[in-house]
């Protein structure tokens, strides 16, 4: 949304603490942005920028501002069956490998076991054993 589209008293969908909630704009904040009320919790929040606002909230009996200019479902392609995309080289669901086959390919084959790292104490013991055997 743009800053000039925000109206005091309007209800908008906003991103507040990683959630989309409906807020009512109560007024402008003296530090910039707007003071608002979270309608779900009733808590006061500050909307720092218009980027946090996603658009006018849908109120019962009132279409959203964005929906008022939206095209009809037929124009938008809603409810219209999509054409199957079966061009040459495309895989169909039946051609795809089963999940077990994919997992089997992803597993590593057992080869040589990696040697474990030797601790300092084990290294000292090995040096002493070799020195005693000489």
* 66: confidence class by pLDDT, cuts 50, 70, 90: very low
Average pLDDT, the chain: 75
Rounded mean pLDDT, 98-105: 61
**Can you give the pLDDT at residue 49?**
87
Rounded mean pLDDT, 103-129: 78
Rounded mean pLDDT, 101-128: 76
pTM of the model: 0.43
Rounded mean pLDDT, 89-94: 56
Question: 12 and 23 in contact (C-beta within 8 Å)?
Answer: yes
**Can you give the pLDDT at residue 115?**
74
Question: 58 and 80 in contact (C-beta within 8 Å)?
Answer: no
Tell which CATH classification among 3.40.640.10, 3.40.50.620, 2.30.30.140, 3.40.50.970 matches the domain 3-66.
Answer: 2.30.30.140
Please give the residue that has the higher pLDDT: either 98 or 15: 15
* Buried-exposed string 79-100: b where 16+ CB fall within 10 A, e elsewhere: eeeeeeeeeeeeeeeeeeeeee
């Amino acid at each position: 949304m743009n800053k000039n589209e925000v109206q005091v008293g309007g209800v908008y969908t906003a991103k507040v603490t990683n959630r989309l909630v409906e807020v009512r704009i109560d007024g402008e904040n003296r530090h910039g942005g707007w003071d608002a009320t979270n309608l779900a919790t009733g808590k006061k929040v500050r909307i720092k920028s218009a980027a946090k606002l996603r658009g006018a909230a849908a109120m019962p009996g009132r279409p959203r501002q964005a929906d008022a200019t939206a095209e009809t479902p037929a124009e938008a392609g809603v409810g219209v069956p999509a054409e199957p995309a079966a061009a040459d080289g495309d895989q169909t669901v039946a051609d795809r490998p089963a999940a077990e086959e994919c997992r089997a390919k992803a597993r590593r084959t057992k080869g040589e076991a990696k040697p474990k790292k030797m601790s300092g104490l084990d290294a000292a013991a090995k040096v002493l054993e070799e020195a005693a055997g000489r």
